[in-house]
Structure 1
């Protein structure tokens, strides 16, 4: 009986780990294909921004609703549907005849990811009822994501070199099918449905607010900031953001519980998570163009060039809890953002003819910072909410990360699109990285200080 239960739990872990692997692989692997995609479709930088952001934007906008959908209909069935959508959308990406079709298929990939990622955690939670087993399972799940993030650029480079850029999407198909097959054997009872409320108005307002914001940032440099379309987009975005916060304030069961942010530590954790994703994914996009357009690297050479950075993301995540215990969460987080700043300053020494190691060393520092910050920010944030609300709190943090990623690609890409040459645009990007890192470090230091306990007060 115990063996059967353990085997079933391990099957759940295998299925969910496979899905998380392809989701994070897709978030990083596409960057090394930007040069090939641009040449295939004759796309400017703005078009490449949409290829990256169509996925992350949809993922960020629908992540919390994906969790609610899983609670209402059952995590297993929603997970299966999300994985099926992701696989079919990957086929669409691989077969895309033009940039618009590719962008639409990437949007569908984001929808699938938003359904399957929160339901993955729900399935693990149901399969591992004891706390120690669940913690170990979540560690394996996150570890698979870390490996995928680290290996993504290299795998992408190898696939593109051997089979062309379309192969980076087709590779998702057999992996996704294995995940679907494993999930079909999962008992629906591992995640029963509950009557959670859909915040339809809040969801629609969030999609419009975030979508128009990213759209304005990407298209503003192309159409001109004074164009009627861009001005309308700005007005729509502002109105949608105001509407979203009004709706969430008044809703009985809001998509985004604003009371979480009354806690300074939760607010700071959300902010530093968003800032780290903004910096890391914005640089991933920028460096991809730098290696392929400035240094003339192939997709494979670009994947190899990213290896020091992405491998340190996985290492930073594995070492995060140990570093926090030894150094302290407050100090170690500020040091991590300091590594971002030092790495960005170091990258200013790199140019089209400089030795590769001048770029590799700063990228190691930035990869280590990124890997450390995500788990180090998550743990204290979840400690500020009730256990029964940990799922929605985790969704808020993940949405903040995805939103930060989309903003990084949009803003840094707009710098590149408006620059006459790449070098000054790259310098501006690195300056923003330094400024963002210093602000994030200051916010964390100011809000994460331990509260002194007065005499007679129970700690």
Structure 2
């Protein structure tokens, strides 16, 4: 059976190719890699506005900057873990880090948005390999249960710290030396990590590892990629267009084919008997919904802070701290108290906190400032930190010991799929809301007491730019003869973008609330 490797019996597995064991060095090496990966997931939000300006990217292009990286992680995570079990986790770690590092350099050198997104996908492949083998490497290096628990605790703390630091580090780099450096910073760190892994990390593998489920991996990709493409391009191509309908149908067919294959495969990448357990499904759903709402929405919030409110990337990173720090502060005590907090109450409560935080972020208009989002960010971040810990730890309590790797891998995969689908779907919501508001505003634009007739060509350019998240940068599309209308257009841009972000937050809150109810119900269904 494929999986992410059981963490409970890894000390009994065969090891080879290394002359000595260096557990501390192994932990440091793995933590370096995970810090880079988690940093890369949140650091890019601070650079989206500058990438858009530098590479003349549309909103769909920016959505792919996030999803081109996350989609390979979601599709390959479980298979990467199985591959590490068979070929050697150290070997896969070095390969993944090399791919990630080279792709990071390629991202920095990309001259257009298409090239950037292609290389981001390659970077995501490297990230999937690293995600799949990192935790089993730590477990193999610390066979003593007490030492292993401490090592995994440090591993989790590093991941949380990197996630929290991402917007601030990214903002500082973009403001000081340019967006390319959010990728270039990975290169020297990656080289050091490869050297450390080659020198100090002991090889480990499983004698009983199942073969990789390549067919399942391909079918999962087929289920995800066309659907995400349809969501991202739907506003541009038309939701009833043949292309969007065909992509949606292909995605649904891919999903059914994936389920059918996994049910009958000798060594499935995901044992669907786990998913049909209501208690386990609740944890996977919470991970999916938390990432697909709050995490996905933060990308649009960062774009709004920079392009509409006029903050530089570093200032935008500072304004993201209420969310990231609250998640960082809440997660450790929740992890410690997990056994005393029944999941049937703590998990839906945490999801409800996420939904409430998102709801507090609604109500924006043209006069809204960043302080409007402080309370919602703190509450939402606290809920997300709790959901992340509870979903991951509770998933293990519902499965047998030998399925521990499968369980954690499934929850992590659900989380990555949530980000992929959330960024794509919320982008469609944002674009539609902004276009509707901008179209109505341009049709009735006034300067003083005079109505301004904006030519159709300029109106279309302004609406398209606003729908892409350009915010106040839309003023560059205003011809000189309409300079008197710039203040009115600036106010329109701010109001339309606020309306788009408001739609994102309201939609996210509704989805999180629905997920709260579903999780609550699922955790109360007794398995027959």
Aligned residue among 392, 407, 421 for 2:406: 392
Separation of aligned partners in 1, 2:504 and 2:376 = 15
Query: Which residue of the partner structure matches residue 236 of structure 1?
Result: 250
Aligned residue among 54, 57, 74 for 1:40: 54
> Which runs of 5 or more structure 2 residues have no equivalent in the other structure?
1-18, 436-495
> Which runs of 5 or more structure 1 residues have no equivalent in the other structure?
453-459
Cα deviation for residue 41 of structure 1 reads 1.3
The yes-or-no answer on 1:62 pairing with 2:62 is: no
Cα deviation for residue 387 of structure 1 reads 1.5
The yes-or-no answer on 1:100 pairing with 2:114 is: yes
SS across alignment from 1:185? helix
Cα deviation for residue 390 of structure 1 reads 0.9
**Normalising by structure 2, what TM-score?**
0.81
Query: Which residue of the partner structure matches residue 442 of structure 1?
Result: 517
Cα deviation for residue 288 of structure 1 reads 1.3
**Normalising by structure 1, what TM-score?**
0.93
Rate the CA distance shift 1:403–1:451 in 2: closer, same or farther, 3 A: closer
CA contact (8 A) 1:294 1:352 kept: no
Cα deviation for residue 57 of structure 1 reads 0.7
Separation of aligned partners in 2, 1:128 and 1:450 = 37
Q: How does 1:35-434 map to 2 (within 5 A)?
A: 35-186=49-200, 188-191=202-205, 194-325=208-339, 327-419=341-433, 420=435, 421-434=496-509
More deviation in 339-348 or 111-120? 339-348
CA contact (8 A) 1:295 1:353 kept: no
SS across alignment from 1:197? coil
CA contact (8 A) 2:364 2:502 kept: no
Cα deviation for residue 322 of structure 1 reads 4.1
Rate the CA distance shift 1:28–1:187 in 2: closer, same or farther, 3 A: closer
CA contact (8 A) 1:72 1:196 kept: yes
Rate the CA distance shift 1:6–1:271 in 2: closer, same or farther, 3 A: farther
Query: Which residue of the partner structure matches residue 19 of structure 1?
Result: 33
1:108-157 CA deviation, whole Å, 9 max, x = no partner?
Answer: 11100110112111111111111111111111111101000001000001
Cα deviation for residue 75 of structure 1 reads 0.5
CA contact (8 A) 1:205 1:241 kept: yes
Cα deviation for residue 177 of structure 1 reads 1.4
Q: How many residues align?
A: 449
Query: Which residue of the partner structure matches residue 456 of structure 1?
Result: none
1:172-198 CA deviation, whole Å, 9 max, x = no partner?
Answer: 111111211111123544445654212
Separation of aligned partners in 2, 1:59 and 1:158 = 26
Note the aligned Cα RMSD (angstroms): 2.0
SS across alignment from 1:330? helix
Separation of aligned partners in 2, 1:435 and 1:383 = 29
The structure that has the greater radius of gyration is 2
1:302-346 CA deviation, whole Å, 9 max, x = no partner?
Answer: 111101111112112112124545554332323322222222222
Rate the CA distance shift 1:451–1:407 in 2: closer, same or farther, 3 A: closer
